[in-house]
Structure formats: structure tokens, C-alpha cells
Chain A
Amino acid sequence: MKISFLIHNAYGIGGTITTTFNLAGALAERHDVEIVSALRHRERPHLVLDPRVRLRALVDLRKEADDPLHQRPAKVFPPAEYRHHQYSELTDRRIGECLEGLDADAVIGTRPGLNVHIARQAPQHVLRVGQEHLTLDNHSPRLRTALRRAYRRLDVITTVTEADAAAYRRKMWLPGVHVEALPNSVPDPGLPPADSTAKVVIAAGRLVPVKRYDLLIEAFAQVAAAHPDWQLRIYGKGEEQANLRRLIERLRLWNNVFLMGAATPMEAEWAKGSIGAAASNFEPFGMTIVEAMRCGLPVVSTDCPYGPGEIIEDGTDGRLVPVGDRDALAAALLELVGDDERRRRMSRAALDNARRFAPGPVVAQAERLLETAAAARSTGRPAAPQDHRTHSPLAGRGHAARDAAQAAAAGVLRSIRKGRR
């Protein structure tokens, strides 16, 4: 098959980019794969892309940021999308042209706005796949309304968790659209797994409030008090850096907690630790949890929506603790820090259990999805029987009505506020 991925910006760092590169690389074993990046801001991608995967960009911000068309707001890319401010008439046009001229069997979008482009603009003969790397429930009612309208024209929607797939089936009325959870994959590590001896806890991700590194640092204060020879390393950059630095100083943890800066790839860094940690309030998937486990680290994580609970088996290959609960997080970390044998046992379990996220199983599922969808197209039947479909059309319409009402109300509120200014 010829497969094109459409991505926001392949030159940045982030979970969607990582997983798209992983999936594209794995599909390139047997398929002709390209990644089309809507935007580009640097010469080379940060992340390493399989050389068999072609990469091209549609708008090069280094040269075209000042293009007059780029100053005008996008119309096809939905205004309610989070990144609408980065899109424009120029991106509308380039993405539209790209899709019209697409010489591919399937095109896979990787965020809501791009999925809308695909639903509206991909040629009839191309399979249209929309990937949801965020979650339906966290979209605004306005965005959900826009997606509900456009997504009917997709063949397949993939989510990264079962929980989100269930939300799509329950709350969207998308006849004939196949919805399935396709987890992110993490390549087989190129290094031997961590041996559970290093007195290092590792966390990785962008330093943004939702990741709750503040909570993790506070929890680690209890670990450092009991085990001063242990350290916490936090990899990543972001807007919270200065706040986290101040917190480390306030808690007098400068000998134990380190902001390491960004590291790509993370694999060699995970191998230096023996416990992974995640304290997020919200995690659509939880890529770093899988990465850590694949390197042999049991992970202590908050049981936030939606990913961690579908990745970690509490007490077996890691620990799940309530969201926002510093003491529970500290207790779970201390449990592993203080028990070498338990840590070793959970490390082995993490290695075994995380194999289901290897590219092999995930890419096989992706291929099956595409083939089934192609077959459904040729027979004119819906893509696949949807076993989990528990919703009635009415339920979907109920949610649609509620979203539409809320979106309308929000619009009114906005105009009222504007009027007051």
C-alpha cells in the first residue's frame, strides 16, 4: 500500500510525532510510506526517522511565515481546533492541494484539524483515516460539533485508548465509520534493559503544568529524606522550568532532583534509572510510560484519564496512585525504592507486559485495519462489524444536541463579553 501520514509539524518534539515516526517506520517494512508535515521550522527533524520513510513539508515557516496568505485565519482547519492560530489560508490551500493530488491508497491524519482536512478534501479513492491522539471528552463542545459533522466522511477513526474509543462510539453518530483503539507503539530497545540497581528515578516529558512535575518533586522530597542517595531526573523543557527550579530550591532538593533538559532519544537515559515516574493530571496515552517499561523500568504513575490505567497493571509492573495525591505518589515510590527484590520483579514484568506495544503487534493491527477498510470500500459495506458498539443513534444525537447547545451558548457568552469590553 501507499500510505501518507499528515502531521502538524514533524520537526518538533512530542508524543504524536514520536508515535507517528514509529508507526511510519514500522509500516515502511512492507509499504511505501511518506510523512507530510503541514508546517516546518527547521532543517532537520529532532527525532530520528526511518530512512525508508519520505518526509516533505507544505509550509516552510523559515521562508513563508510572512506570506500575506499566512496572516489570514484558516477556514478549512476548524476554528475550534487548539492549533487554529498556527494555521491560515496558506495552510488551507497547501493542504488542500496536497490532498487533491495525493497518490496514495490511504491517508492518515494525526490531529483533529488535519482529520477534518482529510474528511473534506481527500479524493474519493483514498482511504481516509483519522487518528485521535488526544481525547474526545477534552475537546470543546464547539470542536466536537465540527468533528461530528466532518468525521462521517472518514473510513476509520483510531484512538489511543479503549476508553476514548468507547467515548467516540457512545457520543458520536458516525454511521459506517469504524472506530478502534490503536495504541502507540515503541520500538524494540537497542540497549540491554536497566538492571534495577541504579538509584535513579526518571521522568520525561515537556515541562508543562498538566504533567504535574511539581507534585512529583514534592513526593520525591519524602524519598530523598529517607534515601538521600537516590536522585530524581526530569528530562524535558518547557514553560514550567523556572517554577520547578524554584520548587527544588524551596524544598532544598538541589542535591537530589535535577532538571536534565531535553534528551532525544530517551532510551539511553531510561537505561540509567530503575524506576519511571509520571504524575500527570491527564494523559491521552502515556508514551513515556511505555518507553520506560520497554527499557525495564516499573513505572509509578497517577491513574489519570486515560492511558496509564490501560498500560500499567497496578502492583505487577508498576503502581497506579490517585491523581494529585502527593503522599500516595511518595508512598508508591518509597515502596519500590526500599525493596530491591520487588523492584527487580516488577522490572521483569514491565519488560514482558510492554511487549504488546512493540511495533510488531501494533503495526499488524494497523495493517489489518487498513485492509479491512479497503475491503469494506470495495464491497460497499461498513468497514467492520463494530462489536463494542453499545450506543444507539439516539444517544449519539443526544450528545450532538448537547454539544451544539453548549457551543451556541459559548458563542453567545463570547459576544456578550466582547460587547462589555
Chain B
Amino acid sequence: MSTPEDKSTRTHEGTTPSAPHGGTMPAASHEGAPTSTPREGPESAMPGPQHDTHLRAHCTIDADGRITFRLPPTSDEHPRLLLRLRPKKGLPETTVHVLDLETDRADGHRHAVLEPRPVLDEGRWDVYLLPEPGAERRRLRPGLRDLRTLVDGHLRDRPSPVAVRIPYATKDGFLALRAWRRTAHAEARGIDLTDRTMTVTARLHGAGLREDATVRLRLRGTDTVRTIVPRLDGDGRGFSFTAGPGDLRGDGGEATRIWDVFVRPTAEGRPVRLGRLLDDVADRKHVYVYPPIEADGRTLRPYYTVDNDLAIEAT
């Protein structure tokens, strides 16, 4: 006889065959947003390790984006830390930053500080140890990532350019940084859904809203733009807007359509992307998930792209 407890205790010591981040593979090849970065794919730069001989680096980030890396003691004379912007597939590496690793007097650990400036280019940055000049670089694995100061990062107004860095673990278990660099950025917060509409609350960073601000929904891959008049909070930063099926009608053709969301702060200004970058969540797509709304025979669903930008899927 099988008791309910059999079932419950059976689950106590699990084996999870897939990788810890296996569920968050950014799938969509249609994520052709203007700011798209190389996707998390096989990390082909490194041969598959047979033994876990990789060093682990702890890192801590403060509210200004300053990152302190901490490594165990090494015997190397002059070790350094190397950050490289992951190039698109098939392209050569172009951008690296090299940081000196200082020795802590107390315990011999090594640390390096990545200051808020220079601002990192947008993309994914891989982290390596350069044991000594001329030696082969070694990819680092993540230790503890203390990101607690990022959790309420949306509460701090940012100047231009808006620069964001989030240390994260890649799908195959290495330490990397996600960086965003935007002249201005509109941080989406709550999304309220009714039977027919979605209302997005957001806050502009790195620019100011004027009375003639507009929200622009652009059909991805086209010049088709729908314009919505937002409600302004009156502080030049906060705004919200409501979109419904009438705002997302295409030009015929019933295939799935993706609408990217922008705000144009002034009638003459450049559109600013809406996204959600100002907290500790490096990959939001499968964590911040919204149900679809169905209206006029259409299904609309807001979602975050692999780059944490807001988009609306219409089917």
C-alpha cells in the first residue's frame, strides 16, 4: 500500500539532471532588438573541463555599480583579472578590461575592483584570471555573488548614460557580467492586466519627460509605429500608459507579431526603450511572466526579452 507520505518523502533527495539554469535558455531567435547581445550559447572559447579545476571568484557590487572581485590566494607574482566583451559568434574579440589583483594583507586573498567608470559596453562580459604576463588566461567560476544592493535599485534615479552591471552565472557555470549602457532608460515596474488592456507603470532615467511625451509601440522588423499618450506623474520621470488590442493592430497578416515598447520623452527626442534593468535579476524572461489577455480575437501578452526589454507579443 502506498501512503501519501511515500510520495512526499520520495522527493526528499532529488536528482536534477539538467543544469541549474537549464530552464532559462533564452530561446527566441526573433529577439532582434536593436540592442541585442550575443546569446548565452555554448561557451566555445573553453574546452570542456574534465575536472573542476577552475577558480571561483566571489564578487560584491555596491549601489554605484562598483564590483569587488575576490579570489583565493595564488602563488602567481602579478595576477590580473581580465574582462572581455563576448563577441558575436564568429567575430573576433575587440574589447577587454584588465584589472590588477591586489593581495589582502590579512589572509593572502586577492581582490580587484571594477570602478563604475569607465562605463562597460552593453553585452555579456566574461571574466578570466591572467595568472601572469604571457600565461594563458583561465575562465573563472562564480563564488558568492553579493548583489543585495541591486534589489531596490529602481528607487535611485540615474543620470545619463544609464549604466547597469549584474554579475551572473552563465548557463554552463562560469562567472560573467551583463552590462547595459543606454543614453536614457525607462524602467518598467508593475504591469496591471484587465480583461482587455494592460497598464504599464514606468520611470524614466537619464532624461526628462515633457508634456508632449509619447509612448511608441514599434512592430519589430518594420517601421510601423503606434503611438499612445502616457499619463505623467508630474515629476518629469514617472509615467504610465494603457494599451489594448486597438493599439496593436498590424497591417494584416496574422502571424505572431512582437511590439517593442519605447517612450519618446519630448516631441523631438529620440525614443527610449522600456525595460527592466535596475535590480539584481540578470535574466528576467522566465521569471517575470505575465498571463495573456484575450480581446477581439487577439491574444496579447507582455513579456521581457532576453535583454530584459519590454515587448508585447500579439497572436
Instruction: Answer whether A and B are interacting partners.
Output: yes
A-to-B contact residues, CB < 8 Å: 8-9, 11-17, 39, 41-44, 46, 48, 82-83, 111, 133-135, 138, 140, 190-191, 194, 198-200, 206, 208-210, 237-238, 245, 249, 252, 254-255, 258-265, 267-268, 271-272, 281-282, 284, 410, 413-414
Task: Report the interface size for chain B: residues with CB under 8 A from the other chain.
Answer: 45
**Is there contact, CB below 8 Å, between A134 and B9?**
yes
Q: How many A-B residue pairs have CB under 8 A?
A: 127
Q: What are the residues of chain A within 8 A of B8 when measuring CB–CB?
A: 138, 208-210, 281-282
Q: Contacting B191 at CB < 8 Å: which of A8, A140, A255, A413?
A: A255
Q: Which residue of B lies closest to A239 (CB)?
A: B11
Contacts from B to A (Cβ < 8 Å): 1-3, 5-17, 20-21, 23-24, 50, 52, 56, 58, 143-148, 151-152, 173, 189-193, 280, 286-291
Contact of B286 among A12, A135, A261, A271 (CB under 8 A): A261
Assuming the contacts A191-B146, A259-B287, A413-B1, asked whether A83 and B280 have C-beta atoms less than 8 A apart, the reply is no
Please, could you name 20 A-B residue pairs with CB atoms under 8 Å apart, sorted by A? A11-B15, A13-B20, A14-B12, A15-B13, A82-B9, A138-B5, A138-B9, A190-B58, A198-B148, A210-B11, A238-B11, A238-B14, A254-B290, A258-B288, A260-B287, A262-B21, A267-B144, A268-B148, A281-B8, A284-B9
Asked if B17 and A41 sit within 8 Å, CB to CB, the answer is yes
B146 touches A14 (CB 8 A): no
Question: Which residue among A15, A82, A111, A281 has the maximum number of chain B CB atoms within 10 Å of its CB?
Answer: A82
Chain A residue nearest in CB terms to B12: A134
A284 close to B287 (CB less than 8 A):
no
Known: A41-B15, A138-B5, A140-B1. A271 touches B146 (CB 8 A): yes
Bound Cα distance A272, B150 (Å): 9
- CA gap between A12 and B15 in the complex, in Å: 4
**Contact, CB under 8 Å: A190 / B144:** yes
Chain B residues with CB under 8 A of A83: 10
Are A264 and B144 touching (Cβ within 8 A)?
A: no
A265, chain B: closest CB distance, angstroms = 7
| Chain A residues closer than 8 Å to B24, beta-carbon distance | 261
B291→A249 contact, CB < 8 A: yes
| A222 → B minimal CB distance (Å) | 18
Q: A208-B8, A208-B11, A284-B9 are in contact. Are A254 and B1 (CB under 8 A)?
A: no
Known contacts: A82-B6, A272-B280. The answer to whether A245 contacts B148 by CB under 8 A is no
Asked whether, in the complex, the Cβ of B16 is within 8 Å of the Cβ of A200, the reply is no
Closest residue of chain B to A285, judged by CB?
Answer: B12
A16 and B12 contact, Cβ closer than 8 Å, known pairs A190-B58, A245-B289: yes
For the residues of A in contact with B, the DSSP-based class is loop
Residue from B12, B58, B144 within 8 A of A284 (CB atoms): B12
**Are B1's CB and A262's CB within 8 A?**
no
Interface pair B9/A272, CB less than 8 Å apart: no
Residues in B whose Cβ lies below 8 Å from that of A413: 1
A17 and B146: CB pair below 8 A?
A: no
Are the C-beta atoms of A13 and B11 separated by less than 8 Å? no
Interface centre among A11, A111, A254 (most CB of B within 10 A): A254
Report the nearest B residue to A246, measured CB to CB: B291
Cβ contact within 8 Å between A9 and B146 = no
CA distance A16 to B58 in the complex (A): 25
Query: Contact check: which of A46, A48, A254, A414 meets B289 at CB < 8 Å?
Result: A254
Q: Give the Cβ gap from A91 to chain B, nearest Cβ, in Å.
A: 14
B166 to chain A, nearest CB (A): 12
Q: Using CB atoms, name the residue of chain B closest to A85.
A: B10
Check if A237 sits within 8 Å of B146, measured CB to CB: no
B144 touches A15 (CB 8 A): no
Q: Chain B residues near A254 (CB, 8 Å)?
A: 191, 193, 288-291
Which residues of chain B come closer than 8 Å to A16, judged between CB atoms? 12-13
Asked if B16 and A262 sit within 8 Å, CB to CB, the answer is: yes
Known interface pairs A140-B3, A262-B20; A268-B145 also in contact (CB < 8 Å): yes
CA distance A134 to B9 in the complex (A): 7
Query: Which residues on the B side are within 8 Å of A261 (C-beta)?
Result: 20-21, 23-24, 286-287
Residues from chain A with Cβ under 8 Å of B52 in the complex = 44
**Nearest A-chain residue to B18, judged by Cβ:** A237
Q: Are B151 and A17 in contact, with the CB atoms below 8 A?
A: no
Q: What's the minimum C-beta distance from A61 to chain B, rounded to whole angstroms?
A: 9
B279 CB to closest chain A CB (Å) equals 10
Q: Which residue of B lies closest to A256 (CB)?
A: B190
Contacts of A281 in B (CB 8 A): 8
